[in-house]
Structure 1
Amino acid sequence: MAPIGAIVSTKSKTNHNILSSSSIFETVKGFHEYNIKGYSLAKGMGVGKYRSSHTFTVGGHDWAINFYPDGKTQDNQEYVSLFVELVSPGEAKAMLEFKLLDQSRKGKHDVRGTSECAKVFDREGTIWLWGYMQYMKRSELETSSYLKDDCLTIHCTIGVVQTRDEEGKRYIAPIPSSDMAQNFKSLLESGIGSDITLHVGNEFFRAHKSVLAARSPVFRAQFFGLVGNPADMKTVTIEEVEPFAFKAMLLFLYSDELPEACEYSDSDSPCTLTTFMQHLLAAADRYDLPRLKVMCEEKLCEEITVDNVATTLHLAEKHQCLQLKTICLNFAAKPENLGEIIKSDGYANLEKSLLTDLLKTCAGVVQK
């Protein structure tokens, strides 16, 4: 019992932690390329008649591209019509984009079919198609670079809108994003505390032995191995690496980011992205940087052309990049590419083993 005159509090303790819940809307993207071979033979099949691509899956739903060479309706018979069809049952909400790929390899693809907002598809309802009655006039298509050797390629991107709920997360305080990479880049750029000079070609770079050793086993062995006294090592000469590639690799060692080629190319003799990535991949392999090597490999896979595939294939073989080698071989083995590749300077320098691999790949393409 409380003493007379005392004040007894009846308030309970308050939990100041705030509970939150979220509904998160996300877009799951995927694409499909539909090749029309023998376009001139498809014409005349009739208004409203179409050919469909193979079914493909994006966001857990099955889709198909419908191509109407003579238009979908009588009012649009001078045009080709393009539509996306929801094949699987149920409802889906998606954003779409059509483009015709430029067959001249100049990259000027036709992007004129883009939905401004998400469309609702319902296979069990009334709307399961979306597209363009008048995508392009046949006369325009037939005189364009989108049609070559009586073939055209339709590229369709689908972004399926999905939602998920998150509940019961305790909100304490927002955590700032990490600025460690920026701090290390500033350390490299300022040269504060640097204890090693790297001589590459006609250029000199100041760096920190501990950082380089932590990131690269090669530098670790060089600076802190059993041979020599690292305290006495003030300058190291780097051979067989171009200065622009070494500078880019150095930035990666400090920031873990893939640098842009334009930052390191000489303005008098600009370096192409492919050449930049080829040199950077070689440097990454030499200094045992598997993450950087794969990042370069991915970029090179995106940049393959008839002009550079032979040199990229040679690089992939030399540095044991199996994925890059496979993609180069498959690209080079295509009948529409092989003739031009054989004329290139890089092809003349390919090793016999790679020529054998290319012949085997070509044989596989023919059999298919």
Structure 2
Amino acid sequence: MIWRFQGLIGTSALVEQCAVYGYITVTCGLAVLRHNPIPVPTSTYFSEMHCLRPENDFGEPDVVFALDDDESTFNLHRKVLAARSPVFKAELEGPMAESSLPIIRPQHKIKAPVFTGLIIYMYHDRLPKDTECGGPSVELFRELLAAADWYAMDRLKLLCAKKLWDDYMSVETVSKTLWYADTYNCRELKDACMHLLNKGENMKQVAVSKEYIWLAQNSPEIIDEELRARVMAKFYN
């Protein structure tokens, strides 16, 4: 027989009603609230877009972006891109040569799924959904974080960092994610990766992973920094 109580119950009543052969079985649920090391600032979407047409009616596209990797093209709105990114604003509205060109090629090499994710954020203020950009992956959000750094979109960068931490962080992925965080100036994600590496016995597993070997070959200075952090942590603990 299963008894359910709401509120408090005295010891004698509990024993009288629930004890079976002197034993009581208690079924409970436990919720663990995970520490969030990467806070994301509030959206600036409406303050950036208030000067444009209401209800996302931006008129006809007036600029085409073409990608070098597979010749993908995107028909976009100059005002939207300029409102969301100071880099796009300089490219499209400033004295730079791109401002007058009908077709623009990004200055950084960027894959079509990543550029699509960038556009989704600029127009809809969110990360790609599961059915978009060929499906989410750790590599997609790493490269989207890089694109956010190129285009000075700090909130998007932190959204990607939080996504990488919440959904894709493990001893197998932490090394390369650390490289992206260091290379593309995401201190919050870098600190979280360093903390994970130095926690418990994680480093023993990480050190034999392919991504850690890749990191050691491509960015030994990050390994040196991680080793110093580990030594300091042991010294002060």
Counterparts of 1:299 and 1:206 in 2: how far apart (Å)?
28
SS at match of 1:283: helix
Which residue does the alignment assign to 2:228? 360
Contact (CA 8 Å) 1:181, 1:254: kept in 2 or not? no
- In the superposition, relative to structure 1, how do residues 307 and 262 fare at CA in structure 2: closer, same or farther (>3 Å)? farther
SS at match of 2:158: helix
Unaligned runs of 5+ in 2: 12-23, 34-51
Deviation at 1:365, TM superposition (A): 4.8
- In the superposition, relative to structure 1, how do residues 155 and 344 fare at CA in structure 2: closer, same or farther (>3 Å)? farther
Q: Mean Cα displacement is larger for which, 316-325 or 254-263?
A: 254-263
The structure with more strand, counted as a fraction of residues? 1
Does 2:190 align with 1:325?
yes
> How do residues 298-317 of structure 1 correspond to structure 2 at under 5 angstroms?
298-302=162-166, 303-317=168-182
Does 2:203 align with 1:338?
yes
Which residue does the alignment assign to 1:193? 60
Structure 2 counterpart of 1:237, which letter?
Answer: R
- In the superposition, relative to structure 1, how do residues 341 and 287 fare at CA in structure 2: closer, same or farther (>3 Å)? same
Contact (CA 8 Å) 2:145, 2:157: kept in 1 or not? yes
Which residue does the alignment assign to 1:241? 110
Deviation at 1:243, TM superposition (A): 0.8
Contact (CA 8 Å) 2:129, 2:136: kept in 1 or not? no
Contact (CA 8 Å) 1:261, 1:276: kept in 2 or not? no
The structure with more helix, counted as a fraction of residues? 2
* Identity fraction in percent: 25
- In the superposition, relative to structure 1, how do residues 134 and 182 fare at CA in structure 2: closer, same or farther (>3 Å)? farther
Give the TM-score normalised by structure 1: 0.47
- In the superposition, relative to structure 1, how do residues 310 and 261 fare at CA in structure 2: closer, same or farther (>3 Å)? farther
Counterparts of 2:63 and 2:54 in 1: how far apart (Å)?
21
SS at match of 2:90: helix
Structure 2 counterpart of 1:120, which letter?
Answer: G
Alignment: residue pair count: 197
Counterparts of 2:204 and 2:64 in 1: how far apart (Å)?
48
> How do residues 106-125 of structure 1 correspond to structure 2 at under 5 angstroms?
119-120=6-7
Deviation at 1:359, TM superposition (A): 1.5
141, 153, 157: which one aligns with 1:277: 141
Counterparts of 1:335 and 1:181 in 2: how far apart (Å)?
53
Structure 2 counterpart of 1:363, which letter?
Answer: V
- In the superposition, relative to structure 1, how do residues 272 and 264 fare at CA in structure 2: closer, same or farther (>3 Å)? closer
Deviation at 1:297, TM superposition (A): 1.0
Contact (CA 8 Å) 1:252, 1:258: kept in 2 or not? yes
Unaligned runs of 5+ in 1: 1-115, 137-153, 159-179, 266-270
Contact (CA 8 Å) 2:65, 2:75: kept in 1 or not? yes
Counterparts of 2:234 and 2:30 in 1: how far apart (Å)?
24
Deviation at 1:259, TM superposition (A): 2.0
Encode CA deviations 1:314-366: one digit per residue, 9 max, x unaligned.
01101111111111111112343212211122212332321122213333454
Higher gyration radius (CA): 1
> How do residues 284-299 of structure 1 correspond to structure 2 at under 5 angstroms?
284-299=148-163
Deviation at 1:183, TM superposition (A): 4.0
Deviation at 1:182, TM superposition (A): 10
Structure 1 counterpart of 2:231, which letter?
Answer: A
SS at match of 1:120: coil
Which residue does the alignment assign to 2:41? none
